[in-house]
Amino acid sequence: MPRQTAPTYTTRPLDESTWDDFAALVEANNGIWGGCWCLGFHPEPFGTAEDNRVAKREHVRRGSVHQILVFDEDRCVGWCQYGEPAELPEIKNRKAYEKALTDLPDWRIGCLFTGSRHREKGVARAAVAGALDAIRAAGGGLVEAYPEQTAGREPQRGAYFHTGPEDLFAEFGFERDRQIAKWRWVMRARV
Ligand SMILES: CC(C)(COP(=O)(O)OP(=O)(O)OC[C@H]1O[C@@H](n2cnc3c(N)ncnc32)[C@H](O)[C@@H]1OP(=O)(O)O)[C@@H](O)C(=O)NCCC(=O)NCCS
């Protein structure tokens, strides 16, 4: 049985009102991967940590990102990115993805992040649930995620699962569509 989300978690969108909470999470985790500021999947190339922070801040100001923050009481402990393909074009393994592409999804869930001291306590589960709720509220449709296979390989630290573990998405009804890297799959669900 999947563990239940801790009852104190709440989710809120990343917007002007929650920017400081998100920034505190990123800064407490060394900028995330040394300064990516969760800019993966976004259209612009990575720059310095400060370039990435400014680019992300500008997206939030314009409202051109969809991201869910997870709060444990008033502390932001996790984050999940979702959006339409045009908003999140730079998917991992893009060449392999496009090779067998027939139809684009309506929505993508890209990267996930849980603060290093808050892992394995259901934060990512709360983040994905929050993203799917938001997608449903926006009309739903076909949703893709690009998680890492966990079965049949050595146990991996969560640090390497930028796009989340397969089992987490399977819990929410996502099914494998096709493989795009040794351990990465396109998984799909309709919400
Ligand atoms: C991957 C990650 C998001 C998981 O977050 P989390 O909050 O610890 O995950 P949860 O506690 O919600 O776990 C939910 C389910 O995911 C799966 N899971 C989580 N971590 C796992 C791991 N290391 N190995 C295998 N499965 C894992 C399990 O099925 C788990 O359910 P269970 O606890 O009932 O077994 C987290 O480890 C992380 O943030 N890693 C860093 C990723 C990163 O750097 N992102 C930046 C984007 S570039």
State which ligand 1 atom lies nearest to the alpha carbon of 150. 25
CB 40 within 8 A of CB 162: yes
Which neighbouring-strand residues pair with 144?
108, 188
Average pLDDT, rounded, for the chain: 94
Is pTM beyond 0.85 here? yes
Nearest protein CA to atom 23 of ligand 1, as residue: 158
Evaluate whether 78 touches 67 at the Cβ level (below 8 Å): no
Closest to 11 in 3D by CA, of 1, 21, 26, 2: 21
Percent of the chain scoring above 70 in pLDDT: 96
pLDDT for 140: 98
Alpha-carbon torsion 55, 61, 62, 66, what sign? positive
pLDDT at residue 2 is higher than 60: no
User: Among 112, 166, 169, 183, which is best to mutate for testing ligand 1, by the most ligand atoms less than 8 A from CB?
Assistant: 112
Note the pLDDT of residue 7: 56
Q: How confident is the model over 90-132, as pLDDT tens digits? A: 998 999 999 989 999 999 999 999 999 999 999 999 999 999 9
Instruction: Output the residue whose Cα is nearest ligand 1's atom 26.
Output: 165
What pLDDT does 123 receive? Answer: 97
Per-residue pLDDT, 39? 92
Sign of the Cα torsion 15, 187, 135, 90 reads: positive
pLDDT at 162 over 90: yes
pLDDT digits (tens, 9 = 90+) for 41-76: 999 999 999 999 999 999 999 999 999 999 999 999
Position in ligand 1 atom list of the atom nearest CA 125: 12
Spacing, Cα 76 to ligand 1 middle (Å) = 16
Establish whether residue 189 lines the binding site of ligand 1, counting it when its CB lies within 6 angstroms of any ligand atom. Answer: no
Residue 5 clears pLDDT 80, i.e. is over it:
no
What is the reported pLDDT for 111?
A: 95
What token pair was written down for 66? 């969809």
Per-residue pLDDT at 22 exceeds 70? yes
3.40.630.30, 1.25.40.10, 3.40.718.10, 3.20.20.60: CATH of 9-190: 3.40.630.30
